[in-house]
Amino acid sequence: MIATDLRSGVEQLGDMIAHASVIVPFTGAGISTEAGIPDFRSPNGLWSRNRPIPFDEFVARQDARDEAWRRRFAMEHTFAQARPGRGHLALASLYKAGKIPAIVTQNIDNLHQASGIASDHVVELHGNTTYARCIGCGKRHELAWVREWFDRTGYAPHCTACDEPVKTATISFGQAMPTDAMRRATDLAQHCDLFIAIGSSLVVWPAAGFPMLAKECGAKLVIINNEPTEQDEIADLVIRQDIGETLGPFVGN
């Protein structure tokens, strides 16, 4: 059912939250646009500017790695300045109230952790762009180290431990999904009574399978997104409104 307006959406969501004991939020890039981070598919989204670099290109070509890091550094100011928005803060309030065991996110911006959710309770399906990892041995590298290497040599770095390429700790198109995060997200979707998809176009798979899975396992499904998604028809409530406006009333409750 689509909420007729913002007020009725907030009221119905409030009732569903009050009656739920285990709520699992599933977030996408739309929850972070209020924080100044562009999403992928909106008119000003990142896709309108740059074609994503698939994983096999990153592995195969130094120039693709250089370009990937140039793009990442071009976004550094945006990521470093971003602070949690009302959506993040509302979820943090419900987490502190004991209603949310963990958040499943497609986002890579670290803003759920910044809002006060323990890192162990943020299940990152697509990784995290605020640090880097070697694609060979998995060693963590900090962005300041990558930057220093890049500025000194003009090239994207190789791991100091095993000499394989170093990449932001994110999952690119064509890269294997993180097994542990997928297992935890599956378990959370299967064992909640309210699943809330927030700010996702629900077109990136396999992540987009989780709202459907939660619904199949008996949870009520709410979708908050300012444009239609393919899963609206199976949702118990669709709120086609701004996320900050919709979740703002739940901050601090």
The residue ranges that bind ligand NAD (CB under 6 A) are 28-30, 32-34, 37, 39-42, 45-46, 106-109, 126, 199-201, 204, 225-227, 242-243
Q: Is 158 a catalytic residue?
A: no
What is d(CA 244, CA 41) in angstroms, rounded to the nearest whole number?
19
Catalytically annotated residue among 88, 112, 126, 141? 126
Ramachandran bin of 105, using left for φ above 0, alpha for ψ from -120 to 50, beta for the remaining angles: beta
What is d(CA 39, CA 82) in angstroms, rounded to the nearest whole number?
13
Nearer to ligand NAD, 40 or 145 (CB): 40
Nearer to ligand NAD, 84 or 149 (CB): 84
Minimum Å gap between C-beta 162 and ligand NAD is 26
The answer to whether the CB of 104 falls within 8 A of the CB of 122 is: no
Nearer to ligand NAD, 99 or 109 (CB): 109
Minimum Å gap between C-beta 46 and ligand NAD is 6
Minimum Å gap between C-beta 172 and ligand NAD is 10
End-to-end Cα distance, the chain: 25
Tell me the C-alpha to C-alpha distance, in Å, between residue 205 and each of 102, 158, 177, 211, 252. 20, 30, 10, 12, 33
Q: Which residue is nearest to ligand NAD (CB)?
A: 30
Minimum Å gap between C-beta 246 and ligand NAD is 8
Nearer to ligand NAD, 23 or 208 (CB): 208
Pairing between β-strand 140-141 and β-strand 122-124 as defined by DSSP bridges:
unpaired
Helices and strands in the chain, H and E counts = 10, 9
Nearer to ligand NAD, 159 or 189 (CB): 189
- The residues assigned a catalytic role are 126
